[in-house]
Structure 1
Amino acid sequence: MITELVVLGLLLLFVIPSVLVYRLQHKIIFAPQYYNRRRLFAEFPDLYRPLELQVEKGIVLEGVVYEPEERSATTMLYFGGREQDSVTLIGKLSLHYPSVRIIAFNYRAYGKSGGEPSEAAYHGDALKIYDYVAGHYGDPVLLGYSLGSNIAVHTAARRFPKELILVAVFESVKALSWARFKPVPRMFIKHRFETISEIPGVKVPFYMYVTRDDGFVPIAQPRKLKARAKEGMVVDYKEYQGYNHAQLLFSEEVTKEIEKVLAK
C-alpha cells in the first residue's frame, strides 16, 4: 500500500506534469498572431515600408521598416513577444519612438511569415535578420520583449549591436515551467530558450526593465540573469511595480527609459 502511494505521488508530482508540458509546450510557447492592420503602410508609404527576407528556401519572413521624416542615425531592431504581430506593432512603436528608425520582422508562422515555429529556427532567423539590418542600416540597438528578450540575447551574444534593451526578460522555459507547474525534467522540454546560459556571452552594454508584479515571470529570474551577466555590461537595471507582463513594455516609465537609450 505504501509503495502504491509513493508511485502515485511520483506520478502526480513529476510524470503527469512533465508529460503535459512536453505535449503542450508548443502551444504554450508559440502563439502565432495575425492582425489585419496593415493599411497604415499604404496610407503612409514614406514612413512605413514593407520588407521581406528569405531565411531559407521557400520560407520568407514578413518585415517592416519605419523611417522618421528626418532621417535617423539610430536604428532599433525589435524582437516581439509570443502573442504579438510585430509588423503591425510598428505603428505603436513609432508613436513612442518617432525619431528613430524601427525595424521588425514577424517570426515564422506569425503574420504573413512562412514556416513553422521552433527555437532553432527563431534563433537562426534572428542572426540573418540582424545581418540584413546591419548591412543596410548599420548595427542597430536591439529591443527584446518577453520571448523576444531571449532571441535578442541570443543575437547579441553572437553579434555586436550598439546596445541591448531587455523588457520582461525570463531565465528559461524550464525555470518558467518550474514556477508555474511542478518540477519538469530538462529532457521533457523541447524548446528551452535558456537566456541564463546565453547572457554571459553578451559583450555590449545592456539594460533590463522588469516588474515585480509580472504575474508570469517571477522577479527572481531577472535578478539571477543580472547576476550572471558579464561584469560591467549591465548599464541599467530597474524593477517596477504596478505593471504586469503585458503592460510593462508600453508603460510610461519604461518608454521614458528606452527613449534615453535611443537618444544616445
Structure 2
Amino acid sequence: MRTLAIALAGIVVLLYGLAVAALRWLEGRLIYPLERLREVTPNPDAERLALVPIGTVDGIELTCRYQASTRADGMTVVLFHGNGEDLSQRVHIAHDLVAEGYGVFLAEYRGYGGNAGHPSEAGLYADGRAALAFVAARTSRIVLHGYSLGSGVAVQLATEYPISALALEAPFTCIADVARTRFPFLPMRWLVRDRYDNLAKIGHVEAPVLIYGGSRDRVVPPQHFARLFDAVRASRRLIVIEGADHIDVWAKGGDALMLAFLRELSRSA
C-alpha cells in the first residue's frame, strides 16, 4: 500500500512538472499570440494615417502610423494596442481622436504587424520608448493610452517620462494575476517571466490617470481596475462601463470617456 502511495505521489509530481514545463514553453504563444502571423491585418482606414518608421535602441525598425495634432496645444495620444491585435485594429480609435484635432501615434511592436524581432517585456518597453521619442520630438503634450497588454507598456513609460496623462483601457494588475484565472493550480508569480507588473509601478506615475473597462470583462475582470485605482497616488479616475466586455469598451462608452478626459486636460493646461 505504501509503495502504491509513493508511486501515485511520484506520478502527481511528474504531471505537475510537465504542466509547468508546458506553460513555460507556451508562455510566449499565450502572451503574444499574433507574433506567429507575421503579417499586417488589412485595414483601408489605416491608410489615412501616415506610415512612419522608427528605430529602437537595439536596432529594430518598426512601422507605425502617425497623424499630427491640429490643436494649438499640440496634444497627441500614443496608442499601445493589446496582444491579440496589431495597430490596424486601433485605427477606429485613432480616427475618433483625429476628428477632434488630437494628434495620434499608433505604436507597433516587434514581431507584430510585419515587423522584425520577437516580442518580450523588455522588447516592448524598448519599442514604446522609440515611439515616445518620435512624438516627444514634435510636442510636449503627450497622453499615453494602453489597452490590455498595452497598459503594461504605457504604465512603464509613464514612470519614465513627464507625460501629460495616462489612460488605461481594460488594464491588468500583472500578467501573473491574469494567468492565474486560467491556471489556478500553478504558482504563476514564479513561472511567468514577462510580468508587466502594473500594480507595482502605477504608484510612481505622477501624471493624471484614467482607468476604465467593462463590467463583463472576463479576460481582465474589473477587480484588476479597482486594485490599480487604489494604488494610484496621482489624480485619478475609475469608470466601469456597465455591459461592456474586454473588446467593446470603446464602442460602449470608452470613446466619450476618453474625449472628455482629454478636454479636461486641455482646459487645465
Range class of TM-score, shorter chain: 0.7 to 0.9
What is the CA–CA distance in structure 1 between the aligned matches of 2:18 and 2:242, rounded to whole Å?
A: 35
Matches within 5 A, 1:70-85: 73-85=74-86
- RMSD of aligned alpha carbons: 2.2
- TM-score, reference length from structure 2: 0.85
Q: Percent identity?
A: 21
Matches within 5 A, 1:131-170: 131-170=133-172
Q: Which residue of 2 aligns with 1:129?
A: 131
Q: Following TM superposition, by how much is the alpha carbon of 1:65 offset from its aligned partner in structure 2, in angstroms?
A: 1.0
Q: 1:174 aligns with which of 173, 176, 185?
A: 176
Q: Following TM superposition, by how much is the alpha carbon of 1:132 offset from its aligned partner in structure 2, in angstroms?
A: 2.0
Q: Which residue of 2 aligns with 1:224?
A: 227
Q: 2:40 aligns with which of 29, 34, 41?
A: 34
The structure showing larger relative contact order (alpha-carbon pairs under 8 Å, at least 6 residues apart) is: 1
What is the CA–CA distance in structure 2 between the aligned matches of 1:91 and 1:177, rounded to whole Å?
A: 28
- TM-score, reference length from structure 1: 0.87
The verdict on how the C-alpha distance between 1:262 and 1:19 changes in structure 2, with shifts beyond 3 A counting, is same
Give deviations 1:163-216, integer Å, cap 9, x for gaps. 110001011121111111122353422211111211111111101002231111
Matches within 5 A, 1:60-75: 60-67=61-68, 73-75=74-76
What is the CA–CA distance in structure 1 between the aligned matches of 2:58 and 2:125, rounded to whole Å?
A: 17
Indicate the SS of the match to 2:112.
coil
Indicate the SS of the match to 2:56.
strand
Q: Which residue of 2 aligns with 1:116?
A: 118
The verdict on how the C-alpha distance between 1:17 and 1:243 changes in structure 2, with shifts beyond 3 A counting, is farther
Q: Which residue of 2 aligns with 1:101?
A: 103
Indicate the SS of the match to 1:144.
strand
Q: Report the structure, 1 or 2, having the larger helix content.
A: 2
What is the CA–CA distance in structure 2 between the aligned matches of 1:227 and 1:69, rounded to whole Å?
A: 35
Q: Following TM superposition, by how much is the alpha carbon of 1:68 offset from its aligned partner in structure 2, in angstroms?
A: 6.1
Give deviations 1:46-76, integer Å, cap 9, x for gaps. xx22111111464101111124666762111
State the one-letter code of the partner of 1:37: N
State the one-letter code of the partner of 2:206: K
Gaps of at least 5 residues in structure 2 are 265-269
What is the CA–CA distance in structure 2 between the aligned matches of 1:186 and 1:39, rounded to whole Å?
A: 40
Q: Which residue of 1 aligns with 2:211?
A: 208
What is the CA–CA distance in structure 2 between the aligned matches of 1:4 and 1:241, rounded to whole Å?
A: 51
Gaps of at least 5 residues in structure 1 are none
